[in-house]
Amino acid sequence: MCESCEFGFDRRTFLGSTLALTATGSFSASSEEEVRIPPRPKELPVIWVVFLYPPAEVVYAGQLEDQWRTHQWFTWPGNQFQPEDQERKFTEKLKEMGQRLNVRLHFAPQAIYQSAKVEEFIQAAKQAAPDAVLVINFWNTFAEWSFRIATETCARSIVYQPVGSNHQLPREYLRQTPGLWYIHSIENWSELERSLRAVRASKMVSQSRLLRVSTRVKNVTEEGDRDLGVEIVHVPTQELIAIFDAITPEAPHFLQAQQLKQMAAGVWDVADEYLVEAVRAHQAVQTIMARYGADAVTIECLMLKQRKPCVSFAILNGMLTPAGCENMVDGTITMMIGRWLWDRAGFMHNPEYDTSENLYMGAHCTCAWKLHGPTGPDQKFIIRPFFHQLPKTAALDVQWTPGEEVVLAKYYSGGKKICGWTGEVLTSPPCPPVGGCATRVLVRIDKVEDVCSTYPGIHPILFCVSRKEAKALRAFAHLLKLEWIGNI
């Protein structure tokens, strides 16, 4: 772990405290007896990779299984494409991506160019049941084979065909089939990586557990998101309150409260006692997450008074543990998707609109200052009261970087639908003159005549993601066969 990851302190400061505020378990269940449900087992995503093209000698001998064989004809990409060299280059690049993203790639031992070998690969892949198959097709007349492999082996697949290896229009069955992400581009490593990230997100989210803490339940219950496979455990709010109330403030809590204060650019109207309460709330949140083996959490938090977890959620999200306020399943699962697509924290917020200037504003109290991941830069933030007060507990006013490219996203649990809109940060408008909540960010959404038409419903998520990288969300939607809404 990098020296600056533990709550943003330098290593010397961090080691001076025995109870650092991190999202890695410093404040977790203290004994095995407290663990009610163990974490879900996790497996890395597995993708099978196969290349399609014939050796030159097979074409020259007139033995290739296409309509041009009697002419010893090289269809597109032609006889100077050097497919063997291209395969080596693609393999090297993919292996590097797989290692960096923790995706296991299984490469077919040699390129396929015979119908019998296509059948053999399809049957082997069916039996192995990888999470996805990636077909890299270097031969125009093999497009149908690439489609068969993609659709007969897995529910999710990627077909990559370089520009110049297809004649005339790309096949519509490749471009339009749900669950098949078709890449037709020129040596586009970024798009290949985005497709691997989409498969990774699908796999990891499907193995995750979301803890939902709510006053609406009296007993622990379980359900699931049927489209993505997220396991959802409902726990009564009273259990979290009991955990918090059992925590006695001690010296380490006071130390961490002061460290948080020192990190801030300013503290406005928040007493030190409420910084200590924020530390206690963080310990309580981590404890209940550990107790139920949770990978993410959402809490009905508005009326928790001094126990509100605003600061805890900012810490957790910055360390890529999705934490959503107000018992909001859709928004929290959206953050879980973004965590695995981009390795970025999401900002759950309420939307507002400047209809005169056609601008979008997101506002809420749980924004991470690590918007670019645990090793990314810190955003400047001010500690100020939770805007509804009850009482004046600590929340963070995080300053977003003007010019930052962002994506506005929302997954609709049970609705088989997802939306995504790209845009650009204009400013973090001060309060006053605007209201809303502790963190406010003003965004210009790309290519919309009426910004209100982008309304995604309550509690969507903003991510600091470039317009190009936002395409991974579109790939995710297509691979999962989700209805798509947006401008990506």
Give tens-digit pLDDT for 469-484. 999 999 999 999 999 9
Quick check: 28 pLDDT over 90? no
pLDDT class of 386 with cuts at 50, 70, 90? confident
Quick check: 16 pLDDT over 90? no
- 283-287 mean pLDDT: 97
Q: Say what the pTM is.
A: 0.93
Quick check: 1 pLDDT over 80? no
Give the model's pLDDT for residue 157: 98
Quick check: 445 pLDDT over 60? yes
Quick check: 440 pLDDT over 50? yes
pLDDT class of 6 with cuts at 50, 70, 90? very low
pLDDT class of 33 with cuts at 50, 70, 90? low
- 300-308 mean pLDDT: 90
Give the model's pLDDT for residue 14: 31
pLDDT in tens, 224-248: 999 999 999 999 999 999 999 999 9
Lowest mean pLDDT among 8-17, 138-147, 269-278, 329-338: 8-17
pLDDT class of 390 with cuts at 50, 70, 90? confident
Give the model's pLDDT for residue 69: 83
Q: Report the distance separating Cα 130 and Cα 114, nearest Å.
A: 22
Helix axis angle for 272-291 and 251-263, nearest 10°, is 110
- 297-321 mean pLDDT: 95
Give the model's pLDDT for residue 465: 98
Quick check: 412 pLDDT over 50? yes
Give the model's pLDDT for residue 67: 83
Arithmetic mean of pLDDT over the chain: 92
Give the model's pLDDT for residue 73: 86
Between 362 and 3, where is the model more confident?
362
Q: Report the distance separating Cα 463 and Cα 349, nearest Å.
A: 11
